[in-house]
């Protein structure tokens, strides 16, 4: 007897799903596994050891690059998130104005313009400023990262603002709250999860950027990803695997922490 | 006294324009209990939103005690609205919700606490003062 036809059953779905998961995660599993390799190779297993974690931890270049990465990511996520909050308010909490579509496109420009184009234009622009001012510090990287992190911070904040009941803010105004007071006592407390999500996203995006950093950085300003890229050109050791695994663990921890935070706050 | 003088409200413009209010004139005296009745979409809420100041009239004037309200933002208008969907602040307790208006007016904490507990007593809700608004029934 034929089975009853069930529209919710997709033949072959399980096989496709498994194939996708294997393709997505097998390389990562291998990367993590070989970070514990005792030998010099990233593809020949010679026994279990933590030696590459120890060597990465003691490597002064890696230490400097990590600190630089974190400083840039912190600075960029603070600037980008502040700008994104203002942009999100201007695009959701005002009466529709002429040019709003253009403004929206401009805010999200880094998502549409190819990264390499942004990188080259920033390289040229910053080198002009460098000639005028003589300043060669980290701020170029912080500003460049802030620019392309804005849309990533903007998206969750705008989504949160759109999901919030506008009548609460109107009720606040009706009860004699000035715009500033209403923002502080009603909008901001409800917006926090969105702001945190935006800031974390911006932080992670900044942390693993390669293309723009590679173009904008001056000599001796390697971030962790550009340092790793530089190492690949010389000799590849499981040290690279160890750094990657540590980065992976940190981002998984961040995402998990955020998941639980946003769940309890809601 | 609220004096509504030939108020017209048009939403949108051009082809999609919608005339929600057309030359409405009403006078509501002090202490008068005034009820607006009408089918859905006839402009009752629009008129209330114009009085509260959430929208501006396209034409006409709204006067409160002889003073023109146009150009005054909602928080400078001595009128209050009960919202259709309650509009309770979900991140505040019941007591904080009740005391919000007084807090915005900059009253002292003692005065706010006194008034809030008096009002909650009046409706027999004192035992719920520290609950979040999501934890009580809609009544």
pLDDT tens digits for range B82-129: 887 778 888 899 999 999 999 999 899 999 999 999 999 998 888 888
Q: Which residue has the higher pLDDT, A92 or A20?
A: A20
Mean pLDDT taken over chain B: 87
pLDDT at A19 > cutoff 90:
yes
Q: Which residue of A has its CA nearest to B76?
A: A176
Highest mean pLDDT among A66-80, A204-218, B20-34, B54-68: A66-80
Mean pLDDT taken over chain A: 87
Quote the CA–CA distance of A33 and A48 in Å, as a whole number. 9
pLDDT tens, position by position, A102-133: 888 888 888 888 999 999 999 999 999 988 98
Please report the number of interchain residue pairs, chain A to chain B, with beta-carbon separation below 8 angstroms. 58
Contact list in B for residue A173 (CB cut-off 8 A) is: 53-54, 73-75
> Which of A93, A166, A175 is best to mutate for the B interface (most B CBs within 10 A)?
A175
Contact list in A for residue B73 (CB cut-off 8 A) is: 173, 179
pLDDT at A150 > cutoff 90:
yes
**A6 in a structural domain:** no
Report all structural domains of chain B as residue ranges with CATH numbers, in order of start: 2-75 (3.40.50.300), 94-135 (no CATH)
Quote the CA–CA distance of B39 and B23 in Å, as a whole number. 18
Report CB contact under 8 Å: A177, B85: no
| Number of independent structural domains in chain A | 1
Of A96-100, A113-117, A251-255, the poorest mean pLDDT is in: A96-100
The CATH number of residue A215's host domain is: 1.10.3720.10
Q: What is the pLDDT of residue A45?
A: 84
Contact list in A for residue B74 (CB cut-off 8 A) is: 170, 173-174
Any residues with CB less than 8 A from the CB of A55 and at least 6 apart, and which?
A: A239, A242
Report CB contact under 8 Å: B89, A186: yes
Q: What is the pLDDT of residue A251?
A: 83
**A47 in a structural domain:** no
Residue B27, strand partner residues: B3
Interface residue A105 vs chain B (CB under 8 A): no
Quote the CA–CA distance of A258 and A266 in Å, as a whole number. 12
Q: Alpha helix (H) ranges present in chain B?
A: 44-52, 94-104, 109-122
Interface residue A188 vs chain B (CB under 8 A): no
Report CB contact under 8 Å: A175, B101: yes
Report CB contact under 8 Å: A171, B75: no
**A132 in a structural domain:** yes
Contact list in B for residue A264 (CB cut-off 8 A) is: none
For residue A174, give the nearest of B80, B90, B91 by CB distance. Answer: B80
Contact list in A for residue B90 (CB cut-off 8 A) is: 168, 190
Structural domain range at position A239: 60-265
What H or E segment, with its residue span, contains residue A62? helix A60-92
Report CB contact under 8 Å: A170, B100: no
**A49 in a structural domain:** no
Interface residue A171 vs chain B (CB under 8 A): yes
Contact list in A for residue B105 (CB cut-off 8 A) is: 176
Interface residue A178 vs chain B (CB under 8 A): yes
**A34 in a structural domain:** no
Residue A164 contacts residue A190 (beta carbons within 8 Å):
yes
Q: Which residue of B has its CA nearest to A166?
A: B87
**A147 in a structural domain:** yes
Residue A212 contacts residue B114 (beta carbons within 8 Å):
no
Return the biggest CA–CA distance within chain A: 83
- Split at pLDDT 50, 70, 90, the class of A1 is low
Residue B26 contacts residue B51 (beta carbons within 8 Å):
no
Query: Which of these, A83, A259, A88, lies nearest to A187 by C-alpha position?
Result: A88
Interface residue A177 vs chain B (CB under 8 A): yes
> Which of A96, A98, A169, A171 is best to mutate for the B interface (most B CBs within 10 A)?
A171
- Split at pLDDT 50, 70, 90, the class of B131 is confident
Give the count of alpha carbons within 13 A of A213, CB side only.
27
Interface residue A192 vs chain B (CB under 8 A): no
pLDDT at A41 > cutoff 70:
yes
**A11 in a structural domain:** no
The ipTM value here is: 0.81
- Split at pLDDT 50, 70, 90, the class of A266 is very low
Q: What is the pLDDT of residue B138?
A: 66
Find the mean pLDDT for residues A37-47. 82
Residue A31 contacts residue A244 (beta carbons within 8 Å):
yes
Rg (CA), chain A: 23
Q: What is the pLDDT of residue A92?
A: 85
Report CB contact under 8 Å: A174, B75: yes
Find the mean pLDDT for residues A14-42. 89
CA angle A28, A32, A38 (to 5 degrees): 145
Quote the CA–CA distance of B137 and B139 in Å, as a whole number. 5
Residues of B with CB under 8 A from a CB of A: 52-54, 73-76, 79-81, 83, 85, 87, 89-91, 100-101, 103-105
């Amino acid at each position: 007897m034929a089975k009853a036809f069930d529209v919710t059953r997709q033949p072959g779905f399980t096989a496709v799903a498994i194939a996708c998961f294997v393709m997505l995660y097998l390389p990562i599993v291998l990367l993590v596994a070989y970070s514990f390799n005792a030998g010099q190779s990233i593809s020949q297993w010679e026994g279990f050891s933590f030696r590459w974690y120890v060597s990465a931890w003691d490597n002064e270049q890696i230490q400097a690059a990590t600190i630089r990465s974190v400083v840039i990511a912190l600075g960029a996520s603070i600037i980008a998130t502040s700008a994104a909050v203002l942009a999100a308010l201007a695009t959701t909490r005002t009466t529709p104005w002429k040019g709003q579509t253009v403004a929206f496109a401009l805010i999200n420009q880094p998502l549409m313009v190819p990264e390499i184009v942004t990188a080259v234009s920033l390289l040229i622009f910053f080198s002009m400023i460098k000639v005028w001012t003589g300043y060669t510090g980290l701020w170029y990287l912080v500003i460049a990262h802030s620019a392309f992190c804005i849309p990533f911070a903007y998206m969750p904040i705008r989504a949160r603002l759109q999901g919030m009941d506008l009548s609460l803010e109107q009720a606040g105004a009706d009860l004699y709250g000035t715009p500033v007071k209403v923002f502080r006592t009603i909008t901001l407390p409800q917006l926090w999860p969105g702001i945190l999500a935006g800031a974390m996203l911006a932080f992670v995006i900044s942390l693993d950027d390669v293309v723009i950093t590679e173009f904008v950085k001056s000599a001796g300003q390697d971030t962790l990803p550009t340092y790793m890229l530089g190492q690949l050109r010389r000799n590849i050791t499981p040290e690279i695997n160890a750094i990657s695994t540590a980065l992976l663990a940190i981002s998984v921890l961040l995402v998990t922490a955020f998941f639980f935070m946003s769940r309890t706050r809601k | 006294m609220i004096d509504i003088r030939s108020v017209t409200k048009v939403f949108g413009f051009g082809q999609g324009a919608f005339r929600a209010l057309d030359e409405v004139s009403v006078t509501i005296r002090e202490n008068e209990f005034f009820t607006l009745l009408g089918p859905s979409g006839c402009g009752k809420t629009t008129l209330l939103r114009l009085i509260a100041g959430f929208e501006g009239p396209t034409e006409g004037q709204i006067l409160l005690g002889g003073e023109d309200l146009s150009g005054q933002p909602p928080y400078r208008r001595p009128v209050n609205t009960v919202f259709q969907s309650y509009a309770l602040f979900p991140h505040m307790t019941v007591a904080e919700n009740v005391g919000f208006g007084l807090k915005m007016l900059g009253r002292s904490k003692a005065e706010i606490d006194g008034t809030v507990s008096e009002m909650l007593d009046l409706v027999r809700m004192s035992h719920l003062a520290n609950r979040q608004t999501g934890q009580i029934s809609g009544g």
